[in-house]
Amino acid sequence: MKKLKNIYIILFSLMTVLYGCQENEHEFGEIVSPTDIVITAEIVGADVDNPYGDGSGSVNFTATAANASSYVYYFDGVAEAAPSGIFTNRFSKVGVNLYTVVVKANGTGGISSTKTIDVEVYSSFSDVDAENFLSGANVGDSKKWYWQADVAVHVGMGPATDDYGNGEFAYEAWWNGIKAWDDEKSCMYDNEFVFTRTATGLTFEQTVGPAFVPGTYAGVLGVNGDQCHDETVVTTMFGTKNVSFGPSTSKAGTEGSYNNVEYRGTEFEISDGGFMGWYVGASTYDIISISNDEMIVRIIENSNSGSGAAWYHKFTSTKPVEGASTPDYTYNNLVWEDDFNTDGAPDAANWTYDLGAGGWGNGELQTYTNTTENAKVEGGSLIITAKADGSGGYTSARLKSQGLYKFKYGRVEVKAKLPAAAGTWPAIWMLGSNFPTVGWPLCGEMDIMEQTGADKNTSLGTLHWLDSASSTNASYGETTSVSNASSEFHLYTLEWSEEKVKIYVDDVPFYELTNNADLPFNADFFLILNVAMGGSLGGSVDDGFTEDTMEIDYVKVFQ
C-alpha cells in the first residue's frame, strides 16, 4: 500500500509539472498583433512661410502602437530599423517632393502590422560636382574607389567635437602616424567601393571585403580589435545601398578646416548600415575634399562606443599597387606642369587650340572648338568632351602648347582617364616645333597614348618620321593592355633622351626606340591633347553616341 501511495504522488507531481508547462507556454507564446499605429512626421524648419521645411530635407518621425516591440521604416523600399519608433530621415531629391513612408510595427510571435504616411518635403541642397566625382555624371556610370594605401596617414583619428585651442576637432590630432602600406591594415587594402549613378540618385556597394574594426569600437561587437572581420561579424558590409547627400551638420563640417582648407560642407549617408571599409557603427561621411582621383572624408564613431572619436580616411580611384617598382628615370627635375586646379577655361598661358573641321588627312568627323562645352577645367581635371551636335556631326577640342611651351629631351607624365564610347579616338602626343615650316612627318611625331574607337582595352605608343629613302611616313609602334582605362586614371609616360625614346603605362615600359642623329627626335617638341571622332583609328561611331570625355589630372615635364 505504501508503494502504491508513492506512485500516486509521483503521478500527481508529473501532472502538475505538465500542466504548469502548458500554462506557461500559453502565457509566453501568445501571438499578439500590434494595433492603433500612430505616425507623426515633423518636417524640420517647417513654419507658415516654409510649409515644406527649411530646405535640409530632414524629417523627424515618431511611430507608436499598442503591443509593438520594435519598428522598421521603409523609404523607397529601403529598410531602416528604429527599435524605439523614433527615426530621422533626410530626403535629398532637390525641390518639393511627395514621399510615401511605410512603417512596420513588430509584435510578438513574429506578427507585424503596417501603416503608411505621406510627407511633402523641400530639399534645396545639391552638390552635383561631388556626386559626379563619386560615380560619374551619366546614368549608368560607375566608379571604383580604393584605400589610398600608398600615402602616409590614409587613416587617422581625432576628437569628434572637442577643441583644444587649435581646431583639433577637424584633423587627425590624436593619431596620425600611419605610414604607407601599414602591415596591420594590409588586410583591407584590396577593398573595392563602387558608386553608381542611377536615374534616381547614387547607389553604393562594397564589392570586396573584409571590414577593419579598430580597437576603439571592437568592444561594442565583442570581437578582437585592430584587425579585419568578415560579414559574419559585420553583417551590413555587402549589398547594394542608397546614398543620400545633405549639408554637413558636424562641427568639423561647418566650422573646421583641414590643412588650412575649409571642409566642403557636404556629407553623404550610406543606407542600411553601409560603410567604406572601416567599421565604427556609423554611415555618415563628411566630405573634406574630393576630386576625380582623390577623396578625403571624416566619419564619427558611433557614440555608444564612448570613445568620442572621429576617423579620417583617404581614398583614390586609381588602385595603388604595393611594391610596384618605379623605373630609374633619367629626368627627375620638374620644369613645367599644369595640375588643372583652377576651374574654368584651360590656362591660356599653357594651352592654345587647333580649330575647325578635323581630319588633317585622317578622315576624322569632329569640328574642334575652343568653348568650355568641349574643354574645361573642373574639379582638379582638364575635361575634353566630344559631343554630338544634333545635326549628324560632332564637336571636340584639341589643346596644344605650341608657341607657349616647347622642350628637347625629358620625361612627360600625363595622368588620364579615357573615353569609353565606340568611335572616340583620344590622344596624348607631341609634334616637332618646326611643323609649320617643314610639315609632317618630317617634323616628327611622338604618340604617348592613343586608343582606337573599337578597342578600349589597349593603349598604343607610336613614333612617326620621314623615311628619307622612300620619302614616305615611317613609323614604329607597340601596344599594351589597359583593361580599365575608361573607368580609372592611369599614368602615361614618355622618357626621351639623345639615346632612346621609351613609353610607359603606369611606370611599366612597353615601347622603346633607339634614337640617332638621322631622326627628328633631337629638336624641340610641343604637347597636344585631344579627342577625335571616327577617322583611321576612331572607326565607326556608335549610333547612340551623345558625348564622352577624356579627363586629365595633370601634365608634367621633367628634365
Which grid coordinates belong to 293? 582621383
Residue in 131, 269, 450, 547 annotated catalytic = 450
Any catalytic annotation for residue 445?
yes
26 three-state secondary structure: helix
Q: How far apart are CA 399 and CA 305, in angstroms?
A: 54
Q: How far apart are CA 496 and CA 296, in angstroms?
A: 35
Residue in 131, 267, 445, 488 annotated catalytic = 445
Any catalytic annotation for residue 488?
no
Q: How far apart are CA 179 and CA 45, in angstroms?
A: 45
Q: How far apart are CA 264 and CA 224, in angstroms?
A: 35
**CB-CB neighbours of 109 under 10 Å:** 10
Q: With beta carbons less than 8 A apart as the criterion, state whether 34 and 112 touch.
A: yes
Which grid coordinates belong to 551? 579627363
Q: How far apart are CA 318 and CA 314, in angstroms?
A: 12
Q: Say which DSSP state 534 is in.
A: B
Q: Which region, left, alpha or beta, applies to residue 244 given φ > 0 means left and ψ of -120 to 50 means alpha?
A: beta
The sign of the CA dihedral 342, 344, 346, 350 is negative
**CB-CB neighbours of 121 under 10 Å:** 25
Beta pairing partners, 115:
103
Q: How far apart are CA 3 and CA 15, in angstroms?
A: 19
Q: Which region, left, alpha or beta, applies to residue 551 given φ > 0 means left and ψ of -120 to 50 means alpha?
A: beta
Catalytic residues: 445, 450
